[in-house]
Chains A and B, each alone.
Chain A
Amino acid sequence: MNSCLFCQKEMQLPGGFQALFQKAAQSFWCEDCIAKWAFIKGPTCPTCHRWMETAEICLDCKKWQADPIYSGCLDENISVLAYNSFCQQVLAQYKYRGDYILAVAIADLLKSKLKQTSFDLITPIPLSEERRYERGFNQSEALITALGKKPTILLTRMHTEKQSKKTRKERLETPQVFRFTGQQEMSGKKVLIVDDIYTTGTTLYHAAKLLKEAGATEVRSLTMARS
Chain B
Amino acid sequence: MRILMKDHLLIPVFHHDSASYTITELPNIPHHKHNPTYRFNSQIQTFLFGKQLLLDEIPHPVEELFTHVNEGYITLRRPFIKEGRKIKCARCGSSHHLATYPCARCGNEQCHYCRNCLMMGRVSACTPLFSWNGPSPSTLIVDQPLKWDGTLSTGQQQASTAVVAAIDNKKEYLVWAVCGAGKTEVLFAGIAHALKQGQRVCLATPRTDVVLELAPRLKKVFPHTTIAALYGGSEDRHLFANLVISTTHQLFRFYCAFDTVIVDEVDAFPYTMDATLQYAVQQAKKSVAATIYLTATPSRKWQKECRQNKRAYMTIPARFHRFPLPIPQFKWIGQWTSPLKNARLPFVLKKWLQQRIEKEKQVLLFIPKIKLIDDMLPLIQKLHPKVEAVHAEDPLRKEKVQKMRKQETLILLTTTILERGVTFPHIDVAVLGAEERIFTESALVQIAGRVGRSVEAPTGDVVFFHYGKTTAMVRAKKQILQMNKEAKQRGLLHE
Cβ of B118: which chain A residues have Cβ within 8 Å of it? 93, 97-99
Main SS at interface, chain A: loop
The digit string for B80-113, where 1 denotes a CB below 8 A from any CB of A, is 0000000000000000000111111100000101
The residue on A at minimum CB distance from B103 is A136
The residue on B at minimum CB distance from A32 is B370
Considering only residues 76-93 of chain A, those with a C-beta below 8 Å from chain B are: 93
Cβ of B237: which chain A residues have Cβ within 8 Å of it? none
A93 to B99, CA, bound (A): 14
Q: A98-B113, A100-B113 are in contact. Are A137 and B101 (CB under 8 A)?
A: yes
Check if A137 sits within 8 Å of B102, measured CB to CB.
yes
A interface residues, how many (CB within 8 angstroms): 13
Check if A137 sits within 8 Å of B115, measured CB to CB.
no
CB distance from B12 to the nearest CB of A (A): 13
A135 at the interface (CB under 8 A from B): yes
A138 to B102, CA, bound (A): 10
Q: Which of B101, B111, B119 contacts A97 (CB 8 A)?
A: B119
B interface residues, how many (CB within 8 angstroms): 15
Cβ of B105: which chain A residues have Cβ within 8 Å of it? 133, 136
B311 at the interface (CB under 8 A from A): no
A101 at the interface (CB under 8 A from B): yes
Check if A132 sits within 8 Å of B104, measured CB to CB.
yes
Q: A136-B122, A136-B124 are in contact. Are A100 and B104 (CB under 8 A)?
A: no
Q: A98-B113, A100-B113 are in contact. Are A136 and B119 (CB under 8 A)?
A: no
A97 to B111, CA, bound (A): 15
The residue on B at minimum CB distance from A127 is B104
Check if A99 sits within 8 Å of B115, measured CB to CB.
yes
Considering only residues 129-164 of chain A, those with a C-beta below 8 Å from chain B are: 132-133, 135-138, 142
The residue on A at minimum CB distance from B111 is A136
Check if B103 sits within 8 Å of A137, measured CB to CB.
yes
CB distance from A89 to the nearest CB of B (A): 12
Check if A101 sits within 8 Å of B101, measured CB to CB.
yes
B residues apposed to A, CB below 8 Å: 14, 99-105, 111, 113, 115, 118-119, 122, 124
Q: Can you give 22 A-B contacts (C-beta < 8 A)?
A: A98-B118, A98-B122, A99-B115, A99-B118, A100-B99, A100-B113, A101-B99, A101-B101, A101-B115, A132-B104, A133-B14, A133-B105, A136-B101, A136-B103, A136-B105, A136-B111, A136-B122, A136-B124, A137-B102, A137-B103, A137-B104, A142-B101
Known contacts A97-B122, A137-B102; can you find 15 more A-B pairs with CB under 8 A?
A: A97-B119, A98-B118, A99-B99, A100-B99, A100-B101, A100-B113, A101-B99, A132-B104, A133-B14, A133-B104, A136-B103, A136-B104, A137-B103, A137-B104, A142-B101
